[in-house]
Amino acid sequence: MRSVEEHQRVVAELIAARPATTTALADAEGLALADDVTATVSLPVFDNSAMDGYAVRADEVAAASADHPVKLPVAEDIPAGRTDIPTLEPGTAHRIMTGAPMPAGATAVVPVENTDGRTDVVSINAPTAEGRHIRRAGEDVAAGTTVLRAGQLVTPAVVGLAAALGLPELPVIPRQRVLVISTGTELVSPGSPLQPGQIYESNSIMLAAAVRDAGGEVVACPAVEDDVAQFAVVLDRYAAEADLIITSGGVSAGAYEVVKDAFGREGDQGVEFVKVAMQPGMPQGTGLVAGTPIVTLPGNPVSALVSFEVFVRPALRTAMGLPAAHRPRRSATLTETLTSPRGKRQFRRGVFDADAGTVMSYGPPASHHLRWLASANCLLDIPADVSEIAAGSRVELWDLSAP
C-alpha cells in the first residue's frame, strides 16, 4: 500500500500552476499576486485637508484664543473634488472640507470645532501650528515605490490599495478550473422523489463547494450513472475546459466500477489506481486524461471529502500559490481512549476545544457517517503504526476551522 505522504506527492506533482495573467480587481480577491506591484501615483495624490475646517496661514492665527478670537474673511469654499487650486491671500481664510486640495499659500487647517463656522467672516478661537491637519502628498506611498510583492494574497485591503493607486487590474496566478464528476446509478438529485434503492447525490455539490473553498473554480459538477458511455460523454463535454478532473465513486473492488472501467482496462494508459494506507479513503487513483490531470476519489461521502482535504486541497492551493496550502496542524489532549487500525493512517472526525486544549472524536470511524463531519471542526491525525491512544495523550489534528 502507498503511504499518505507518497500519494500527496503524486497528486501535488500532477497539478501544475496556470500561467500568470491579469485580472480585474473585482475578480482578484483570494488569489496570489503573480508579480510585484509598483505605484505609478503617490498617495495622497496631492496635499489635502485632514479635517473639515478652514485653511489658514498658521502665523496669522498663532495668537487666537476663545477670549481673543482672530477674525478672517472667508474668501473661498473648497469642497472635496474641487479641481482648481485657489491661492490663499494673506489675511483671509478658505473654508475647506476633508480630502479637499489645500490652497496655495495655506500652511495649516483649523478644525471647524475651533471656529464659529461662519462662511462670511470666520472667528477662530484656538491657535494652530504649521502643517497641522494637512495630509501631505506621498506620505503614504511615494510614486515608484513597490507596494505589493509577488506571492502576496489579494485581500480586501490589497484590492483597495490597487484601486486607490488607479490600477484597474492586478497580475495574479489564476484559479484552477476543476471538473467534478460524481458516479453512481443509485444517485438522485436532491429535490426529486426517491425510489427504493436510490439515495440522494451529495458528493458533487460537496466537492464543488470544497473546490471553491480551496480557492478553485468549478467548471461543472455533473453526476453520471455507472455507465462508461455516459461517463465518456461528460468527459468529452467538459474536460477540455478543466485544469483538473475529480471523480467520486466507481473505484473500489466491486463490479460496475465505472471510473475503473473507463480507465483501468488492459492496455489503457494514463490512470493508475492504488490503495493508500489510510482510513477513510483507501482506494485512490491519479493520472492524465487527454493531458488533463485526474484524481479519482472514493465514493463514500466522508472518504471523498477527507481524501479531497488530504490530497487535493493542498495541491490545488500550492498550484495557485496560495498561503496555508495545508490546514494548520495543532496538538491537543485526547479526552477518551481511541483505537485505530494498525498499518493505516487514520483521520477521525473531531471536535477541538482550543481554549481547553482538548479534542474528542466525533462520530464513528465509518466512511458513510457524513453527519459528524458536517459538525466536526478538525481531523484527528492518527499515525499508521498506532493501534490505541489512551485518554490524556497528546494527539495531532488538522484544524478545519482555519483556512
23/300 with CB nearer ligand AMP: 300
| Binding partner selected for residue 279 from ligand AMP, Mg ion, none, CB under the kind-specific 5 to 8 Å limit | none
Distance CA 302, CA 363 (A): 11
Shortest reach from residue 297's CB to ligand AMP, in Å: 9
Our finding on whether 301 is near Mg ion (CB under 5 A) is no
| Binding partner selected for residue 300 from ligand AMP, Mg ion, none, CB under the kind-specific 5 to 8 Å limit | ligand AMP
Shortest reach from residue 351's CB to ligand AMP, in Å: 24
Shortest reach from residue 227's CB to Mg ion, in Å: 11
Identify which range of 69-77, 97-105, 296-304, 378-386 contacts Mg ion by CB under 5 A.
Answer: 296-304
**Residue of 53, 101, 287, 299 interacting with Mg ion (CB under 5 A):** 299
Residue sitting closest to Mg ion (CB): 249
For the window 231-270, what string marks contact with Mg ion as x by the rule CB under 5 A? ------------------xx--------------------
Three cell numbers at 80?
472635496
Residues contacting Mg ion: total by CB under 5 A: 4
| Binding partner selected for residue 215 from Mg ion, ligand AMP, none, CB under the kind-specific 5 to 8 Å limit | none
Residue sitting closest to ligand AMP (CB): 299
10/282 with CB nearer Mg ion: 282
299/363 with CB nearer Mg ion: 299
For the beta carbon of residue 161, count every other beta carbon within 10 angstroms.
18
11/246 with CB nearer ligand AMP: 246
* SS3 readout for the chain: CECHHHHHHHHHHHCCCCCCEEEEHHHHCCCEECCCEECCCCECCCCEECCCEEEECHHHHCCCCCCCCEEEEEEEEECCCCCCCCECCCCCEEEECCCCECCECCCEEEEHHHECCCCCEEEECCCCCCCCCEECCCCCECCCCEEECCCCECCHHHHHHHHHCCCCEEEEECCCEEEEEEECCCEECCCCCCCCCCEECCHHHHHHHHHHHCCCEEEECCEECCCHHHHHHHHHHHHHHCCEEEEECCCCCCCCCHHHHHHCCCCCCCEEEEEECEECCCEEEEEEECCEEEEEECCCHHHHHHHHHHHHHHHHHHHCCCCCCCCCEEEEEECCCEECCCCCEEEEEEEEECCCCEEEECCCCCCCCHHHHHHCCEEEEECCCCCEECCCCEEEEEECCCC
287/298 with CB nearer ligand AMP: 298
Sign of the alpha-carbon torsion through 349, 354, 355, 356: positive
Task: Give the side-chain half-sphere CA count within 13 A for 269.
Answer: 2
203/346 with CB nearer ligand AMP: 203
**Residue of 44, 171, 174, 184 interacting with Mg ion (CB under 5 A):** 184
| Binding partner selected for residue 252 from ligand AMP, Mg ion, none, CB under the kind-specific 5 to 8 Å limit | ligand AMP
**Which residue ranges make up the site for ligand AMP (CB under 6 A)?**
182, 184, 186-187, 199, 201-204, 248-250, 252, 298-301
107/300 with CB nearer ligand AMP: 300
103/299 with CB nearer Mg ion: 299
Shortest reach from residue 204's CB to ligand AMP, in Å: 6
| Binding partner selected for residue 23 from ligand AMP, Mg ion, none, CB under the kind-specific 5 to 8 Å limit | none
By CB under 5 A, name the binding residues for Mg ion.
184, 249-250, 299
